[in-house]
A and B are shown apart, each in its own frame.
Chain A
Amino acid sequence: MTSAIVVSGLHKSYGSTHALDGLDLEVATGEVHGFLGPNGAGKSTTIRVLLGLLKGDEGDVSLLGGNPWHDAATLHRRLAYVPGDVNLWPNLTGGEVIDLLGRLRGGLDPKKRDDLLRRFDLDPTKKGRTYSKGNRQKVALVAALASDVELLILDEPTSGLDPLMEEVFRQCIEEERGRDRTVLLSSHILSEVEALCDRISIIRRGKVVETGTLADLRHLTRTSIQAELSGAPNGLAQLPGVHSLDVEGNRVRCEVDNAQLDGLMKQLAASGIRSLVAQPPTLEELFLRHYEDDTAAEPVAATR
C-alpha cells in the first residue's frame, strides 16, 4: 500500500507558540482519513504545511511522493483544497470562482460541476459578497469535488453547512471513495468522521496521539456495562481495568478496559446475570478520554 501523505516529526512554531510539536501522520492512497482534534490543536497548520503554504521548522513531509515546499505548484495540480474559512472576491460570482479555481488546477468536469451545484442547491450567479458562510463553503466544495484530482484536502468542510447539506456532503465523499481518491478530512465533528473515515488520526496540542481504524482505536477504550444480578456482586472493585464502578443493591454500572472484559464477565456470572447491556465506545468517548486531562488542566485551548 502506497502513502499519499507521510509526515514525520514535524515541528512548527509561531514565535513562542508551538503549533506543531513532532507530528506524525500517514495517509494511505485511496483511503478517507479523518483528522480529528479540537480547535487550536494544529489541524489547519498541518494542512497548510502539507500545501506548502507554511514551511515546517523540522521534520519530513512527503505529499504524493513530492516535497510540498519545493514542488508546490506541480503537486497542487493533483490535489484540491477546501479551506476552513472560505473568502470569495466580492465582485466575482460563485460560478466564476468555481471555474477559475478549477482551471488553475488544470480543468474541471462541467457535468459534475452542474450536478454538484444542483445537489448542493447553490446559485452560481450570486456575487461573492452576498453568499453566507455555508454557501461560500459550497462554492469551494463544488470547485474541489468537480476537479479531476487524486487527493482532496478538506479543512472542516462542513462547519457552515446545515444537516441536509452535510448529508449531501457525506454522499459525495462516499462517491469519491468509490473512485479511489484519497481524502484527508479534518474535523471536530465526531459523527462525521465516524461515518466517513477508513482511518482516523487524533491530534492534540500539535501531536498525533492516536491513529488507526475505528476498530483499532476501540480496543484501547472501555466498554460501558450495565448489569442486573441475582445476588449482590462481590470483588468487582478489586478487578483490574474496572472504572467508575457504581453498585446499587443488585444493580451494577461500570466501565471496563476491553482487554479486561473477560475477567469482569466471569465475576458477574458468578453472581448470576439477569440482564446485561454492553455498549461499545463511541468516538465521543474516545475523544473525550484524550482531552479530559486537557480540559481539566488547561481550560483555555491554545489558539491556532
Chain B
Amino acid sequence: MNNFAGTATLVRLALRRDRVIIPVWILVFVSMAAGSAKASIDLYPDVASRVSAAETTNSSAALVSLYGRIYDPTSLGEVSLFKLTSFGALLVGLLAALLVIRHTRAEEESGRLELLSAGVLGRYAALTAALIVSAGTVIVLGLLTALSLVGTGLPTAGSFAFGLTWIAAGLAFAGVGALTAQLTEGARTANGFTAIALGVSYVLRALGDSSADGGSRWISWFSPIGWAQQIRPYAGDRWLVALAPLALLVVLVVAAFALIRRRDVGAGLVRPRPGPATAAASLRSPLALAWRLHRGALLGWAFAFLLLGFVVGNIASNVDGFVTSEGAKDVVEKLGGVESITDAFLSAEMGMLGLLASGFGIQAALRLRSEETALRAEPLLATGITRYRWLGSHVVIALVGTGVLMLLGGVGAGISSGASLGNMGRQVPRMLAAAVVQLPAIWVVTALVVVLFGLAPKLVTVAWGLFGAFLLIGQFGPIFELPQGLMDLSPYAHTPRLPGGDFSATPVIVLAAIAFALLVAGSTAFRRRDVG
C-alpha cells in the first residue's frame, strides 16, 4: 500500500486550501436548486397547469435539446426542476473535474507536488486524495441539495433522486478530470480537454433527447449527463441508472492509475511541441503579449457565443407557442416586462448572454493579478513600458473581448430568429442593438475588477462575489419582491430591455461613464502602489 502513503495528509491539505471555495460552491448549488424549486412550485398550482407547461416544453425541439425532456407531465417536482437537471449536472461535473485537476496536475505543474513527493508520498496519493476531495464535495453537495428540496415540500424520494443526478454527473466527471490530468503537462490544457468532454456529453444528450420517439434517443445513453438525466427524479426515480456513471468513474480511475505508473512526475502523455526560436515581428508590445495570452480562451468563448446566439434565436420562434399557462406568462412578464412575449424572451436571453460575457470580462481582467502574483508582471514592468500600458493591455482585451462576444451572440440570435420568424432584415439589427446595450453594464463589472486590483489587490476575487450578488439580485429579486433600491445596485438592472422595450440613452451613458471612472480610479491606484 506504499503507493497510497500520505493520501490522508494530502486530503487535509486540499481541504485546508479549499476551505472557503468548496462550501461556497455547495451553497451556490443548494440555493440554486431550492430557490428555483420554491419559485416554480407556485407557478404550477394544479395538474392541468403542469401538463400544459410540460407538453409545450416537450413539443419544442429547442427546449428539449437545451434542458431535456419532461417524462411525467403531472409531476410537480419534475416540471419545477427539469431545467436544472442536466444543466446543473453539467456544472457539477465541471466543478468535480476542476477540483481533481486543481489538486493533481496544477500542483504538479507548479512544482509543489515535487516538493511533497520527496517526502513520504505514494505515487497514487495525489490523485487518490484529489478524488476523495472531489467525490466528497459532490456527495455532500447532492445530499444537501436533496434535503433542501425536501424542505420546499417536494417528495422525499424524488428529491434524493434529484441529488443523485448531480452526484452521478459529478463522479463521472471527477473520473474524466483524473484522466485528462494525466495527459498533458499543463493544467490549463487538461481543463480544456475536460471542457470538451463536458460539451460533447451535453451535445450527445441534446441530440438524443430531441430525436423523435423511436428514433435515435439511445444517443443520450452515450453521455454521462444523459445518464444523470435518465435517473428521472420525481418521474420514476430510477436509482439503478446511477451505476453507469459509477462504472465510468471506476474505468477512468483505473486508466489514470495505469498512466501514472507509466509516466514521470511532471510529464504528460501529450508531448509539448517545440515552438518558434524567435518571436514574430508583431510580438513587440504589451498588447501583443496580452492577445497571445488571451486569444485561445477568447476564441473558445466566441464560438460558444455564436452558438448560443443561434440557439436562443431559434427557441424564440417557439416562444409564443409554449407560454400558454398564465403562470408561465407571468414569469416572462416578470423577466422582461414588455408586451410582446417573443421580444420579452429574447431580451431576457440577451440579458443572460450579457451575464455570461461578464464572466469573460472578469476572468480576463483577473489575469492582471495572476500575472502579478506569478511574478510575470515584474520583468515586463522593469522594461520601458509604463504601468498604465501594461494594465491597459489586459483591460483592452477584456473590454473589446466582451464587445466581440456580444456582437457574435447578437448576430447569431438575429440570424436564427430572423430566419424562423421570416424577417431577417429587421431582426438582425434589432438583436445587434439588444446585444450592444448590454455592454456598459458588462464593462462596469469588468472595471470593478480593475478598481479592486488597484486598491486592494489581495481582495481582487471579491469581484466574482459582487458578480454573483448582482446575478442573484437580477434572477430572484423580482420573484422575492426585493426593495427596488437594492435591485438598482446591480448595473444589469439599468440595461434597457431590448428588443421590444423602450430605449433610453441615459442609463447606457451613465453606466459607460461609471465604467470609465472606475477604470481611471483603478489604474491610478495601481500606478501608486507597490508591485508584488
- Measured CB to CB, the residues of A under 8 A from B are 48, 51, 53-55, 72-74, 76-77, 79, 81, 83, 85-93, 95-101, 103-106, 123-127, 129-130, 140, 153
Contacts and interface: CB of A to CB of B under 8 A. Distances in A.
Contacts of B215: none
Nearest to B382: A81
Interface string B303-315: 0000000000000
A125 B186 contact: no
Contacts of B387: 72
Interface of B: 109, 185-186, 188, 272, 274-280, 283-286, 289, 292-293, 296, 374-376, 378-387, 528-532
Nearest to B274: A125
B279 A95 contact: yes
B275 A55 contact: no
Nearest to A92: B292
Contacts of B277: 93, 95, 124-125
B289 A100 contact: yes
Contacts of A104: 284-286, 380, 383-385
Nearest to A140: B379
Given A77-B384, A129-B272, A89 B293 contact: yes
Contact of B279 (A81, A100, A129, A153): A100
B383 A105 contact: yes
A244 to B, nearest CB: 40
B269 to A, nearest CB: 15
Contact of A130 (B272, B284, B379, B386): B272
Given A53-B381, A79-B382, A104-B385, 9 more contacts: A48-B531, A54-B532, A76-B383, A83-B375, A90-B109, A93-B274, A126-B275, A127-B275, A129-B109
Given A126-B274, A129-B272, A103 B385 contact: no
DSSP majority for the B interface?
loop
A96 B279 contact: yes
Contacts of B293: 89, 91
A106 B275 CA distance: 24
B382 A76 contact: yes
A53 B276 contact: no
A87 B375 contact: yes
Given A73-B386, A81-B379, A129-B109, A90 B274 contact: no
B371 to A, nearest CB: 9
Contact of B531 (A54, A95, A124, A130): A54
Given A95-B277, A140-B379, A53 B530 contact: yes
Contacts of B528: 55
A99 B384 contact: no
Contacts of B279: 95-100, 103
A284 to B, nearest CB: 29
29 contacts: A48-B531, A51-B381, A53-B378, A53-B381, A53-B530, A54-B532, A74-B384, A76-B382, A81-B382, A83-B378, A86-B375, A90-B188, A91-B292, A92-B292, A93-B275, A96-B276, A96-B278, A96-B283, A99-B278, A100-B289, A101-B380, A101-B383, A103-B279, A125-B277, A126-B272, A127-B275, A129-B186, A129-B272, A140-B379
Nearest to A77: B384
B385 A93 contact: no
Contacts of B280: 96
B532 A53 contact: yes
A74 B285 CA distance: 16
B109 to A, nearest CB: 7
Contacts of B283: 96, 99-100, 103
B272 A127 contact: yes
A264 to B, nearest CB: 50
Contacts of B532: 48, 53-54
A86, A99, A100, A153 — which one has the most chain B CB atoms within 10 A of its CB? A100
Contacts of B185: 129-130
Nearest to A50: B382
Contacts of A140: 379
A124 B279 CA distance: 10
Contacts of A51: 381-382
Given A89-B293, A90-B186, A93-B276, A53 B382 contact: yes
